[in-house]
Amino acid sequence: MPHVRLAPPAPTGPGVLLPKRELAVAWILLTLLAALAWALTVAQSREMGAGTGTMGMELPPFLLLWVVMMAAMMLPSVAPVALTWVAAIGRTSAGPVRALRTAGFLVGYLLAWTAFGLVAYGLLAMTDRLLDAHPGAGRWIGAGAFLLAAVQQFGPLKSVCLRHCRSPMFQLLRYARFRPWAKDLRVGAHHGTYCVGCCWGLMIVLIPLGVMNVAAMAGLAAVIFLEKLWRQGPWLAYAVGVVFLVLAVLAPFQGWVLPGLQTSDPSMDMDRMPVWTHG
């Protein structure tokens, strides 16, 4: 399995590497985008507080919030592949065209996570209904979520998708064969789909931990970053799986491991809308 160091990717051949100044600008822009997404997420968490399930949100504002959260959590770990693609784009385009193509890649990547956001919303809505009908079901929902996440950490899908995400040079060669039509958007969506396959189990644990639990999001973002870029990342994935198994055992008996499944005041739900959607 290839080892990816915590550094910008190396070129795959002559003429691929952009000037150092342009690569530095690309790194800075990705960092600023992630920082802005984190700032919006933290501000929203303070506005909404803790809540179960969908937190009373309708699908459109939830997806908006979800995309911002995914940008905050995933952009640092996708940087090597993104910058590799930016370097490849630099062979045939420059200036505004290169910027538009780079934006197309990022939009495609986030579209993959938006699609998973639809699944997440459905699961959270089911959680709301189960808790309304059976308030004591939260402990078993939490145990099931942790167990499912643990199985995913040890499963073959995780291994295949993680290998993909840890090999930006190989992916550059593969994506070079994509047809020109909406190429950058499709490359971003393709890579994003592999990232969803790699990380969906980590996102599932936000059901028991809380969708707006910033500490949990930061911890998961760190795990994702290290799994993809640290040379011991695959072993870390197994270790995290063991932690999830322990939490699955504790969940039915220890409520403190389920902050996202604690009942809240329903009267607060109407105010739990993203702050940037307020009039």
The confidence band for 92, taking pLDDT boundaries of 50, 70 and 90, is low
Q: Quick one: tokens of 261? A: 């499944």
The confidence band for 147, taking pLDDT boundaries of 50, 70 and 90, is very high
- Most confidently modeled range among 68-82, 108-122, 254-268: 108-122
Alpha-carbon distance of 155 to 158, in angstroms, equals: 6
Alpha helices in the chain (DSSP H): 20-48, 59-89, 95-133, 138-154, 156-165, 168-175, 183-204, 206-209, 214-229, 233-250
pLDDT at 74 over 90: yes
| pLDDT for the residue numbered 89 | 72
- pLDDT, tens only, 27-68: 788 889 999 999 999 998 888 766 677 888 899 999 999 999
Q: Which of 26-30, 90-94, 240-244, 249-253 has the lowest mean pLDDT?
A: 90-94
